[in-house]
Amino acid sequence: MMSFLTRIKEMLVETWKVGDRVGRGKAVEAVESEVEEMENIFGILVLGSFVGMPSPPMQISLDLMPYMEKELILMMEKVDTANEPISQLFSIFNIG
Amino acid sequence: MMEKAINIFYMGKGGVGKSTSAALNSLFLAQKGFEVLLVSLDPAHNQSDIFEKNLSDTPKQIIPHLTAVEIDQDHWIKRYLKDVHNQINRTYSYLTSFNLEKYFKVIKYSPGLEEYALILAFKEIRRKYLQHDFLVFDMAPTALSLKFFTLPSLSLIWINHLLALRQEIIKKRELITKVRLLKKEIETDKVLSRIEDSIQEYTTLKELFEDPERTKINLVLNPDLLSFAESKRIVNGLKEINIFLNQIIINKILCDSSCKHIEKGLRGIPMLQAPFSETPLIGLDILTRFLKENNDIMMRQPLKILMNGVK
């Protein structure tokens, strides 16, 4: 009897945990994509000279570049989705 | 350690006598017993010819108390790029740094690093020789010199904007981790710390350039209208970034040259008038003789102000 109750309790806890994780994930999804977008802007601002954008004095870009691997990769990835901004927006907000 | 070295910069249009004035000033101070390092930041070096000595990146003694060095700009650019390259190889994953190789080949030829190379050389010299009394800098032609002085201010404008954006990103990132994992992200953002370091570095430089006690900028010009016009642009360009001139040296004055237009146009800045020398001022002996002959000029004018409070 006890073990049955414990199992039910464990299941409930597990369900709660999964639900909690999903809820939390959903709650920050939009903010996450906003941050990603901002990181991309930061990347373009600093390393823009590599893709033909006006950029800060060269030494600022070069000083920060060693610490910007993530932004650099993100910038390159963004190039792939740059042609479909609407579909990207739809997927962020789960439309369709 | 106290930074006691005073920077003296010589600026002006090409050919007005910046290098000779810098050499004379260095000689004068060294003969008075001050420890002086004469640094040529002009990519087309003249000091070797003036002193008839083979100068290089390592300081060479000219007379007791006076050493001279010529900065190799390309060497500093290469060294800086190599540092960045190594740093990238250390921090990036193999694949990313491998893909970046082709960019680095291009960067080597990118413009806009010349003035930064001079700044790097300047910082190194200040760090190494801060116990000297005077560091006399023979500057590059106007355009590059102005870029040299504006670099800290200009960089600060950019980097402060980047700082604001970065802080916003970090705030949002922290919010995400807090909601997702119920704890705050402890990891420090390397980009942010580099930005903060840069702000510190540029601010220190900016303050050093703006401090009339530690940095004396001397503008050399000739009585002719062209060098006067360019000098006015230099004065205004520096004023915009809050840097003021220490003195103006009107060089190569002949008996009939009139300096009224200069005195009128650049009022408020101490002026020193140096006569035209019949013999070319080349070689230690001729320079020393010229100094002796014009000792009263050197003593009368702002150099005296310069020496107050040093010894």
Which has more pLDDT, B300 or A93? Answer: A93
Q: Distance between CA B265 and CA B302 in Å, rounded?
A: 19
Please write the tens of the pLDDT for every residue from B88-98: 888 888 777 77
Q: Distance between CA B231 and CA B250 in Å, rounded?
A: 11
Q: Which two tokens stand for residue B182?
A: 């119920």
Which residues of A are less than 8 Å from B166 in CB distance? 42
Q: Diameter of chain B by CA atoms?
A: 83
What pLDDT is recorded for position B210? 92
Please write the tens of the pLDDT for every residue from B15-43: 888 888 888 888 888 888 899 999 999 88
Which member of B92, B176, B194 has the closest CB to residue A35?
B176
Please write the tens of the pLDDT for every residue from A7-55: 999 999 999 888 888 888 877 888 888 888 888 888 887 877 766 677 7
Q: Is B172 on the interface with A (CB under 8 A)?
A: yes
Asked if residue B88 lies in contact with residue A66, where contact means CB atoms within 8 angstroms, the answer is: yes
**Chain A interface test: which of B180, B196, B199, B205 (most A C-beta within 10 Å):** B180
Q: Distance between CA B11 and CA B290 in Å, rounded?
A: 21
Q: Which of residues 52-91 of B touch A (CB under 8 A)?
A: 80-81, 84, 87-88, 90-91
Residue range B118-145: mean pLDDT, rounded: 91
Taking CA atoms, what residue in B is nearest to A51? B103
Q: Distance between CA B30 and CA B303 in Å, rounded?
A: 13
**Chain B interface test: which of A22, A53, A60, A75 (most B C-beta within 10 Å):** A60
